[in-house]
Structure 1
Amino acid sequence: MRNSVLIMLYLIAVALLSVDSSQAADVSCFGCHDAARFAGKVVHKPVADASCDICHNPHVAKYRGLLRNRQDILCYSCHRQQKKLFSRGVVHDPVARGDCSSCHAPHVASRKGLLRDDPAADCLACHNELSRQYPVTHEPYAEGRCMACHRPHQAENLQLLVDTGDRLCLSCHEASGLKSGHRDFPGPARDCLSCHNPHGSERAGLIRNVLHKPFSKGCVVCHDKGSAGLGMENCLKCHPDVREQMLAPHSHLGGGDGNSCLNCHSPHAGDDDTLLKSPERLLCASCHGQTMAGYRRSRYRHSNIQDCSGCHEVHGSRHPAMLKGDGNDVCIQCHKDQGKFTHPVGPGVLDRFTGQMVTCVSCHNPMGTEYEYQLVREGKKALCVVCHRAY
């Protein structure tokens, strides 16, 4: 009798194992999960094939939703060409984080590309600073055609533009109009975004909202001899406080004869009083691209940092890395509750790995890491034994 039961169980197991994945999904997954939820205009192929087990483990998993692996690894296991493309150039933050589902639905959607929403609404969900209403708007922006100018995943420039700034503008705005519209300028118009906001403005002609005071009074205030290019002294005679900062031991002062101010600031107009050429983080990334790329790709990173200037002086500082203070002091400005520590720090306590005084950054990387608490190494063992080798 016992042998008969065992044989019967064996035959049932063989029968179950012989069922293909779509039949198995019909039998098991859709027994609990309503199949009607996965019907729609655009259906992801594994869902259409009822191959739930391509992404999900039916029994137990390390990842939420019983996913077999991290979301980006699962997506790239099929979308291999995209993985190659997204590994070079400038990558959009959600792509760098491996957060494909921030824009794409994994199962079913009403839009091509499995987009969760109208493309413009998808963009504005993160770029909410652009959701305001402007009296004057650029036509592609007004119509929600973000991808007329921007690539959604990867590009060769920081703004993810489909082409370089001026060439992109001139693909719609003829060069003849450019010449006639700037005939009173002392030199050729070279940088459209120096004066114009590509999305919207309070001013006619999409002129940026805040005009540089000399520019608002007329070109000859600065260009007194009709010259198109001016040196840094021209800026510093009105901004003596910046001159003092730039003379600090660690500064952003560029080499050569060029005007370092113009690396970051527009001389004519901007969106706020700083007259920055682009939002601060994008601007910093134009030089510090490798640092920013590492930050974006980090699994654990500061979630509440809006701009680099939260920790760094943008013009110059007496502290290394142009920090606003000594390393620990900068950290404790925000981490007041966590500013207590049991590991000794400060003078007399040296980091054996760097030979420098132990500070917060001896163990934590403020620019993000793959380890929890932004540790520079895996915390349970590898981090400690860098110094505590005798153990």
Structure 2
Amino acid sequence: MKYRSSQYRPEYSSTEHTGIMHPDPVQHSLYRAASGLVLILLLSLVAPAIPAFATNVCFSCHDKQAFQARFIHKPVAQQQCSLCHDPHVARHNGLLREREDRLCYTCHTKQQKQFARGVVHAPLLQGNCSSCHLPHAAATKAMLRKDLAGDCFGCHKQLTREYTFVHAPFAKGQCTACHKPHQADNLLLLKSTGDSLCSNCHTAKEVATGHKDFPEKPGNCLSCHNPHGSEQKALMRNVLHEPFTKGCAQCHGRDNQNSTESCLECHKKTEKELHATHSHLTLHNGNSCLNCHSPHAGDDKALLKGQERFVCSGCHIPSLQLYQKKKYKHPPVEKCSLCHVSHGGDNPGMTRGDGNDVCIQCHESQGKFTHPVGPEVLDSHTGQEVTCVSCHNPMGTDYKYHLREEGKKALCILCHRTY
């Protein structure tokens, strides 16, 4: 009989044959385990000497000048490359010992708990600390890749356009005057909400002087003003609500001035939509419309309070975070109204079509060859008709084709358990 090297060989079971083998496999295994523990102990005693030695080896290939700047990351300054990098092999790019954000949190422990709550900046939510920070050395504080504004504009390119009138903090690149860079309790990472943020710079006297011709006391500043820049004086938003251009009396000074009915007196089409089976008719100080729309001015004809996906995520925060965090993103999520009606509809989720119809509007070819669907094909989890979203998550997933699970097997056996 032939034996593999890992098999027990009776002829080698005594010390008479070799003088080094243990009498039986069990004792041999114990011997190997004990030897391993001794080796680990010895390595732990010399471990402090490894980083400095390893760094000299690193710089034999990596240009040392690339790690020199005004601000140097502490592990680099202490020549401890192996704190973050494995010198031989790793599962992560750059031979990192762990996923980027987890690696950073091994030192920045206080921030880990703080950054896990509220509204989290998308790069941080995705674990991409290095999208804003350099890991080794930088010319700016906080190890930023560029100056503060340069870092922000790297992603927020829509704000790099030229304005006739520019808000002073924005012109100076002082994004953190209003926004927190990592996490905040408010949407858009604002430091505070409403007028309290503006009043940090603009005194009550200054505001009163600027609004002396208005019958109402100044309310929500962002209702009329763009915080970055505008083509209008006083940073007024570019699209003005028609009643606002004719004076305030059409809406203000009436018994129902703060009610949804006040808006619906003009917006008759919207009134019909709000009486559908599902609607956005929720209270906001008595006026549902003000959840999403500014009553005075906006940057688009709908007078939305901001970019559509951010307006929607004011209530649907989990959907925004899911989209930001997942690897595969469904492009229409950038504009919710491509798939959903804005005010009200008769379909669940206020979708623009019934069941699969909304998906087929874009994915027409996929609708011709698909998993069986229809009233007779039921989802074993919900008991409802199988639709596209039974297998796909349109908000974003970690799997190709926006599948809810890995597509080769894991997804299928969720329903087909006997296979």
Q: Which residue identity does 2:230 align to in structure 1?
A: S
Match of 1:362 among 390, 399, 407: 390
Q: Partners of 2:137 and 2:201 in 1: how far apart?
A: 36
Question: Which residue does the alignment assign to 1:5?
Answer: none
Distance 1:347 1:186, change over 3 A: same
Pair 1:273 & 2:301 matched: yes
Distance across 1 between alignment mates of 2:331 and 2:76? 33
Distance 1:385 1:239, change over 3 A: same
Counterpart of 2:267? 239
C-alpha distance in 1, partners of 2:108/2:188?
A: 24
Q: Is the 8 A contact 1:187 1:228 kept in 2?
A: no
Show the counterpart of 1:77: 106
Aligned to 1:208: 237
Structure 1 position 114 matched with structure 2 position 122: no
Aligned to 2:60, the other structure's residue is in SS state helix
CA distance in 2, matches of 1:257, 1:303: 33
From 78, 83, 92, give the equivalent of 1:49: 78
Stretch of structure 1 that moved more, 253-262 or 199-208: 253-262
Give, in whole Å, the separation in 1 of the partners of 2:84 and 2:369.
42
Q: TM-score, normalised by structure 2?
A: 0.83
Partners of 2:51 and 2:82 within 8 A in 1: no
2:276 alignment counterpart: 248
Alignment of structure 1 residues 309-348 onto 2, 5 Å:
309-336=337-364, 338-339=366-367, 341-348=369-376
Q: Which amino acid aligns with 1:384?
A: C
Note if 1:291 corresponds to 2:319.
yes
**Residues in 2 aligned to 1:103 and 1:152: alpha-carbon distance in whole angstroms:** 10
Unaligned runs of 5+ in 1: 1-9
1:22 maps to a residue whose letter is P
Counterpart of 2:185 in structure 1 is 156
TM-score normalised by length of structure 1: 0.89
Contact 1:21 1:50 in 2 (8 A): no
User: Which residue of 2 is the match for residue 171 of structure 1?
Assistant: 200
Percent identity (aligned): 56
Point out which structure has higher relative CO (alpha carbons under 8 A, 6+ apart).
1
Distance 2:222 2:183 in 1: 21
Residue number in structure 2 paired with 1:59: 88
2:114 is aligned with what amino acid?
Answer: L
Question: In structure 2, what is the Cα distance between the partners aligned to 1:199 and 1:27?
Answer: 48
Cα-to-partner distance string for 1:302-344 (whole Å, 9 max, x where unaligned): 2564221121111112211011113423223334455454422
Contact 1:186/1:228 (8 A) holds in 2: no
Which SS does the other structure have where 2:154 is aligned? helix
**Cα contact 2:258–2:287 (8 A) shared by 1:** yes
Computing the radius of gyration over CA atoms, which structure comes out larger, 1 or 2?
Answer: 2
Q: Which residue of structure 1 aligns with residue 209 of structure 2? A: 180
Partner of 1:189: 218
In the alignment, structure 2 segments of 5+ residues that lack a partner are 1-38
For 1:64 and 1:243, locate their aligned partners in 2 and report how far apart those are by CA, in whole Å: 54
Task: Identify if the C-alpha distance between structure 1 residues 271 and 342 changes in structure 2 by more than 3 Å, giving closer, same or farther.
Answer: closer
RMSD: 2.4
Secondary structure, counterpart of 1:349 in structure 2: strand
**Of 124, 148, 156, which aligns to 1:95?**
124
CA distance in 2 between partners of 1:162 and 1:171 (Å): 11
Q: Whole-Å Cα distance in 2 between the matches of residues 275 and 310 of structure 1?
A: 18
Q: Which residue of 1 aligns with 2:115?
A: 86
Task: Look up the SS of the partner of 1:104 in the other structure.
Answer: coil
SS of the residue 1:159 aligns to: helix
Structure 1 residue 372, shift from structure 2 partner: 4.2
Q: Distance in 2 between matches of 1:370 and 1:293?
A: 13
Do 1:135 and 1:202's aligned partners in 2 also have CA atoms closer than 8 Å? yes
| Structure-2 separation of matches of 1:88 and 1:357 | 36
Contact 2:259/2:286 (8 A) holds in 1: yes
